[in-house]
Chains A and B, each alone.
Chain A
């Protein structure tokens, strides 16, 4: 039935799939985090146990994506019980018989998570709705979860300009970090003249501690593909590229599976849903350079050239891949499209704050009790995230600061924890929303060391094209080293600040322009930690030279 998919066929697939469901379902997290703790052996063990007990007709063992509470992994969820779902934590392959006992409502003696825990109850799952529920390697699961309905609706009922209009009205802003209005970007690409146009999904997530996009790709790849297809229809593109970093092999393999399955069902390719709309997606694998997350460097890499940025304008919307108008959005941005189409712009715009709409996925990591992925409505406070959902610092320590935005962001001190999580508020504090990394630091953390860590990262990841970023980050790193080894004087701090100013304002791309942020924000809020390490100014030096 390739290429002849219709709306009814989607319903048929969903129905057939529902019919194959069992009474109980053991959802086994097989995302990268749990996989590294032998999740594949756990699933094998459960499969074997179900077979041994002859329960195949009653129990389904399903491979699912990330359930979020990664700190408790490996996780196995049990659906179909009388009361409510049970979530087993820290599961080992040896636990299989006990889990099956639980299915039979017998005593199991396993550790289970509290489903009313604020870590879960304060979440609002929009882009992660299917995460941990569906099998990411089976398109039927996605279709049964209302998948590809939004694409069908868009292709058969609404004009491209109306799709752009809908996204604009939703208030969605880019989830890659900078927060550019998505509808405006789509509109610009749609209006740019070009014989051919492209849609690119930026999956080169690279901030230390951040893994939101990896999780989305691993847990719900079709959601991203469908979002890209809708975008392609809206802007008039027929080819998409998914740029994923090579460090995400599981995400890449699941995307390959998803693309193959979507092609088989005619949901990608020519004449989708019997319309003239054609859309193909190819995967491009990044070779390990952080800078390739910058859109112009990413495009150079897709074209097969050295991944270095170029000055903008011209912006990719005007002149992108091979000189053609190109739409580049982040993974999470594309993952928001289907919910917006399905539930309407007004619904989406009702979530969040005045200028930051919808939800945001964060990777809550660092010195916090509860580690994992959370999806929260914009406007939630940092305190709610860190203290209520995250359970505060580990071992009774005090939270000192929260780092958002990775090497482009900053450290927000504990006294500002009541700040609302939205683009503007975080920027006001010298940090950024960023792509969703959120690293909690406790009172044992040395903030100068944190600044050095991020500067080391930027120094290493600078592409080397422009001088301020290439040579400036090296000198800033050396100054931070000097301060930490207690050899610096107040003059070195002044020199560091002067370099921050230079690198921020003269670097070519976002990597360099934001590289000083971790230093600037720690200098702003934790200056005493720098000055405590300083030596007195050596006496007798020539004051007139000023050097």
Chain B
């Protein structure tokens, strides 16, 4: 496998062929914000937070699905990119009902962390306050659509890692929502194995362990990565 050398934010970086810009940057210690990306599952390129500028390309490209190329020049931080990221996060916060003060994921929420990182102390867009419900029919887990950002991590882990294929997306546009099987109550799902991987994958408080209260929903995502690495790369020894 040939290695590629490229420049990320002016820094010379080398990366194996077939590496994404996101991984190459991470290896070089350059962090690009993401929301839909999750180690271990294929990328959707949906949240648009990891968009980067690539010299010679007019379009912004998602770092998570763009492969490194020889001589590529990538910019991950610019005023324009920061402005777009901030606006995208604001759009998310206004879209559903994200109330940190009463959220199980308060303090452990990726949306919250990114918002604070981007200096979002208020949202300029009108809050939509849509009426979404909570599915609390599963004995162990709950799904609060109000906190869902439709990153589809849960769908992808359910299909790709667990192979159950319970979770899916129904509807379209702002009316899209996560469903179980053919839009049945989660508790009635016959395909769900109750493995909990979707709960581990969720970046916000949308999926949670039942019984957890404000701020209690901490997740250990290394478990997902561990399963995939053990299965696909035959690597099961994790260095501390």
Contact = CB atoms under 8 A, between A and B. Distances in A.
Interface in B7-66: 44-48, 51, 59-60, 62, 65-66
Interface size bucket, B side?
Answer: 20 to 34
Contacts of B88: 467-468, 502, 506
B173 A470 contact: yes
A459 B173 contact: yes
Contacts of B174: 459, 462, 464, 470-471, 474
A180 to B, nearest CB: 15
A464 B171 CA distance: 8
Contact of B87 (A311, A462, A465, A498): A498
Interface size bucket, A side?
Answer: 20 to 34
A547 B122 contact: yes
A463 B84 contact: no
Contacts of B92: 467, 471
Interface string A302-320: 0000101011000000000
B70 to A, nearest CB: 16
A23 interface: no
Chain A interface, >50% SS class: helix
B124 interface: yes
Contact of A472 (B46, B91, B122, B128): B91
A468 B152 CA distance: 16
Chain B interface, >50% SS class: loop
Contacts of B122: 547
B46 A478 contact: no
Contacts of A289: 172
B126 A475 contact: yes
Nearest to A305: B168
B173 A306 contact: no
Contact of B172 (A311, A462, A478, A495): A462
A306 B62 CA distance: 21
Interface in A488-523: 495, 498-499, 502, 505-508
A291 B176 CA distance: 14
A507 B48 contact: yes
Interface of A: 289, 291, 306, 308, 310-311, 459-468, 470-475, 478, 495, 498-499, 502, 505-508, 547
Interchain residue pairs A-B with the least CB separation, the first 10: A464-B176, A471-B91, A311-B45, A462-B173, A311-B65, A471-B95, A506-B48, A464-B173, A465-B46, A475-B125
24 contacts: A306-B169, A460-B173, A461-B172, A462-B172, A462-B174, A463-B176, A464-B174, A466-B45, A467-B48, A467-B88, A467-B91, A470-B150, A471-B94, A472-B91, A474-B128, A474-B173, A475-B94, A475-B125, A478-B126, A495-B125, A502-B88, A506-B60, A508-B48, A547-B124
